[in-house]
Amino acid sequence: MRKILLIGFLFFLATPLLAGQVRIQEARLVPGEEGFDYLEVKLEGLFFPELKEALTEGIPININCSVAIEKDRPILWDPVLWEGVYTRVIKYNLLTKTFVIQDPPEVEKRSSSFQAFSRKAQILRLPLPARPLKKKGVYVEVRVYRRTAPLFFPFNLIYSLLSPAPADFETNKVRVEVKK
């Protein structure tokens, strides 16, 4: 009986991210100008009720996109050729009643209607370095997530026991083959 209670207590303390609400619908490589490639990621279900409510209350939302360019290699060597995290900030300006998307580097898109904003916000176009993509047997792995920033010590110990914020999510990891 004690083992069952202990296992139940551990499951109670486990705080999985809200997986399944947001997922990557499609990821593909798109050629750009001057030989650079972009990774285009289309998300599905990004504006679930908790995230939409936080956004319309004026809280800026950071959406992170983790990208890794890897190569199929034997077990002894590190397959990662390049790693990067892109951060998109989406927000709603309560004074001007406009939705804003901020992408790196310093690109800002504005929209007054939520429908147009949501279509633009669910598509990420990320620049990739050209050199690692030229090798044979290379693929790109991508996932998109949002996590609330951890608190400073000692509150981070308490924070780790709490459930995640309602607007947090993590998508599935998608692999895109590079064909050169």
Give the model confidence (pLDDT) of 111-120 as tens digits: 999 999 999 9
Q: Is the pLDDT of residue 91 over 80?
A: yes
Gap between the Cα atoms of 119 and 35, Å rounded: 27
Q: Look at residues 153, 124, 116 and name the one whose alpha carbon lies nearest to residue 140.
A: 124
In a domain, 7, yes or no: no
Task: Give CA angle at 141 (138, 145), nearest 5°.
Answer: 165
Residue 74 domain boundaries: 17-177
Gap between the Cα atoms of 170 and 68, Å rounded: 16
In a domain, 1, yes or no: no
The pLDDT assigned to 6 comes to: 43
DSSP state of 164: P
Share of the chain above pLDDT 70, in %: 76
In a domain, 6, yes or no: no
Question: What's the number of CA atoms in the CB half-sphere (13 Å) around residue 33?
Answer: 0
As for how many domains the chain has, the answer is: 1
The pLDDT assigned to 168 comes to: 81
In a domain, 12, yes or no: no
Distances from the Cα of 173 to the Cα of 2, 19, 29, 147, angstroms: 37, 11, 16, 16
**pLDDT tens across 3-32, in order?**
554 444 444 444 443 444 789 999 999 998
* CB 44 within 8 Å of CB 174: no
In a domain, 21, yes or no: yes
In a domain, 48, yes or no: yes
Tell me which of 133 and 167 has the higher pLDDT.
Answer: 133
Q: Is the pLDDT of residue 130 over 70?
A: yes
Residues found in the chain: 180
Q: Look at residues 143, 10, 4, 129 and name the one whose alpha carbon lies nearest to residue 69.
A: 129
In a domain, 4, yes or no: no
